[in-house]
């Protein structure tokens, strides 16, 4: 049985895995201007549709993107709720690091 902390660590690991690729970061940058169709992303990134689909799937499974289908086209957009959660995790790291800089009693 996974604890809440374990689930949070798994989710955070998926986010950082998804964010740890230059092409996926380029996708996020393009989508920061708003929702885009797969065909537009393919043209902007100059990569094969199959490769783009792999990256989009990784980002979607991590919860960073959401998609919607309109006819035969699929449109992708950033998931602001998930991005806010990522930001909160990073902010937590920063808060924790400030606490550590004030000194640990264990190492004295």
Specify if 102 maps to a domain: no
Q: What is the pLDDT along the chain (108 residues), one digit of tens a residue?
A: 556 565 678 888 888 899 999 999 999 999 999 999 999 999 999 999 999 999 999 999 999 999 999 999 999 999 999 888 888 877 877 776 666 555 556 665
Specify if 6 maps to a domain: no
Residue 100: per-residue pLDDT:
58
> Which run of H or E residues covers position 108?
none
CA–CA distance, 9 with 2 (Å, rounded to integer): 10
Domain count, the chain: 1
Specify if 88 maps to a domain: yes
Nearest CA to 65 out of 7, 22, 74, 73 is that of 74
Specify if 5 maps to a domain: no
Q: What is the pTM of this model?
A: 0.78
CA–CA distance, 77 with 60 (Å, rounded to integer): 10
Residue 53: per-residue pLDDT:
95
Specify if 107 maps to a domain: no
Question: Containing domain of residue 21, as a range?
Answer: 11-96
| Secondary structure percentages of the chain, helix, strand, coil, to 5 | 65, 15, 20
Specify if 2 maps to a domain: no
Residue 88: per-residue pLDDT:
83
Specify if 22 maps to a domain: yes
CA–CA distance, 73 with 82 (Å, rounded to integer): 24
Specify if 87 maps to a domain: yes
CATH code of the domain covering residue 50: 1.10.10.10
Tokens of 24: 């996926």
Tokens of 35: 């929702």
């Amino acid at each position: 049985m996974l604890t809440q902390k374990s689930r949070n660590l798994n989710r955070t690991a998926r986010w950082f895995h998804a964010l740890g690729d230059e092409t996926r970061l380029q996708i996020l940058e393009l989508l920061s201007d708003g929702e885009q169709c797969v065909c537009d992303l393919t043209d902007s990134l100059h990569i094969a549709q199959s490769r783009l689909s792999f990256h989009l799937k990784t980002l979607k499974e991590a919860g960073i993107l959401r998609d919607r289908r309109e006819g035969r086209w699929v449109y992708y957009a950033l998931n602001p709720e998930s991005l806010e959660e990522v930001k909160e995790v990073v902010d937590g790291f920063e808060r924790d690091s400030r606490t550590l800089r004030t000194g640990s009693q264990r190492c004295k």
